[in-house]
Amino acid sequence: MHIMSFSERPYFYVPEEEIIKNGSSYFGVPNTFFDAQKGSQLFQEYFDERVYAEELGFDGVMLNEHHQTPFCMGSVMDVEAAVLARITKRVKIVLLGNPLPVADPLRLAEELAMIDMISGGRLVPGWVRGAGSEQIANNINPAFNRERFNEAHDFIIQAWTKPGPWRYEGKHFHYRYVNPWVLPLQKPHPQIWIPGLVSPETVVWSAKRRYPYVALATQLEPTVEMVNLYADVAEQEGYQAGPENFGYLQNVCVAETEEKAQELAKGFVFGGGFGAFARAEWMFPPGYNSKEATRRLAKAFADPRTGTEIIRFTPGKVDVETVKRSIAENFRSAMEGGLIIAGTPKTVLKRIRYMLEVLRPGIFGIWYHHGPMSFADRMTCLRLLGEEVLPAMREMAEELELPGPYEVQPGTRKLPPTGKRDPVVGVATAA
């Protein structure tokens, strides 16, 4: 199993009340709240945390990219990845991922190739469609999001594998001259992993290309549906999907006591949690998602007890204290439903084992921090994860036969002699 650490690298010094009053951290929270001295210190700390994760034995450090929001300081993730490529020695540098529809794919192909060379072949590129809000901010029609994603992906693969020079004239991208002089060290190109929020189109697309699919902290039932959908498509494509084809990102906060862990874990709902990123009409504008993807998203972020929405968007003038009470209820729901796991190492391992038994992922991302949390508490969380949680997880992975994508090449398993795939996931029962 590949186990990696992750955080959004948030700028958490914006007062929570400002995010609540605005309805999100996107479109409206002025950057006058940004203090460059504090931002610089946070970047130093976030790099130190990733180096420490390598020392503790994590297999990878995961980065992501968002723009113009304090929710994530990684607005140019490739810069962070290039730094990590030089200051780390062993860990995979996992990018989940570059938002292709708003990128320049030729420049991206060159940047990623440079990172792979600097790291000695440790890059794992991953590509996302990007949030709808980022399409709007970049003046790109959200209805063309998937078209631009597909075209940019195909172009980058060509740029890495097709000898140049050549000319490219596509629907959305045009280049007079394509002849990148820097190419990935890994041949024909690095492994590509695709993260997602239970969009069935993304799952099908990934399975057809035999790319591992990584679900990003979504509810268990719709995630199981996506894993099985991937396996069905793999069967149609003539191969057996296994754990190496699936990944899951889980919020896990560990401390030396149950009480402190749960208090720190409240950072995962700071300002409204995932809902603090962008309001629904910006996150999922018309044309951005299919109806089926929208339906599954609603299910993926619903309270498992009641079926009602966990993440609430609260635009306009609001009663801040009322919203804070709602956020507190969201936190309790997320804890009870397993979207957030918090406690001592012994406590969190019980829930993690359940997730491994049900989802059978070969990739497991630990999202260990969000919102206000001191550097000392973040390092303690990482230490406890590395010293007590990771060894136990590796034993579980061996017992449950959960190889990662660097142990078994994704998409190489043959179908059983019957031609019918074996079961892929466990049965979701009460934890």
Residue of higher predicted confidence among 60 and 198: 60
Indicate the pLDDT class of residue 27, thresholds 50, 70 and 90.
confident
Tell whether the model's pLDDT for residue 223 goes beyond 60.
yes
Does residue 83 contact residue 106 with C-beta atoms inside 8 Å? no
Q: State the pLDDT at residue 288.
A: 76
pLDDT score recorded for residue 137? 82
Q: What is the pLDDT of residue 273?
A: 76
Q: How are beta strands 340-343 and 246-254 bridged, if at all?
A: parallel
Q: What is the mean pLDDT of the chain?
A: 90
Share of the chain above pLDDT 90, in %: 72
- Output the pLDDT for position 425: 73
Q: In this predicted model, which residue has the larger pLDDT, 300 or 224?
A: 224
pTM above 0.75, yes or no: yes
Q: Cβ-count burial of 15 within 10 angstroms (0-12 exposed, 13-18 middle, 19+ buried)?
A: exposed
pLDDT number for residue 311: 46
- pLDDT of 171 > 50? The answer is yes
Q: How confident is the model at residue 431 (pLDDT cuts 50, 70, 90)?
A: very low
Q: What is the pLDDT of residues 37-55, one digit of tens each?
A: 999 999 999 999 999 999 9
| pLDDT confidence tier of residue 2, bands split at 50, 70 and 90 | very high
pLDDT tops 60 at residue 141: yes
Instruction: Give dist(CA 7, CA 289) in Å, integer.
Output: 26
Is residue 316 predicted with pLDDT exceeding 80? no
Q: Work out the average pLDDT over 92-117.
A: 97
CA separation for the pair 170, 153 (Å, rounded): 12
Q: 70 by DSSP, 3-state: which?
A: coil
Residues in the chain: 431
Q: Which pLDDT score, from 0 to 100, does residue 238 have?
A: 95
How far is 424 from 290, CA to CA, in rounded Å? Answer: 26
Mean predicted confidence (pLDDT) in 302-325: 62
Q: Is the pLDDT of residue 430 over 50?
A: no
Residue 193 confidence (pLDDT) above 90: yes
* Confidence at residue 310, expressed as pLDDT on a 0 to 100 scale: 47
Give the integer Cα–Cα distance in Å for 247 and 194.
9
Per-residue confidence (pLDDT) for residue 429, from 0 to 100 = 46
In 104-165, which ranges are E strands? 123-128
Is residue 318 scored above 80 in pLDDT? no
Topology at the third CATH level for domain 2-75+193-400: TIM Barrel (3.20.20)
**Residue 317: its pLDDT value, please?**
61
**pLDDT one-digit tens code per residue, 110-140:** 999 999 999 999 999 999 998 878 888 888 8
pLDDT exceeds cutoff 90 at 420 = no
Q: For 259-305, how does the pLDDT look when each residue is reduced to its tens digit (9 = 90+)?
A: 999 999 999 998 877 667 777 777 777 777 776 766 666 555 555 55
Would you state the pLDDT for residue 262?
Answer: 95
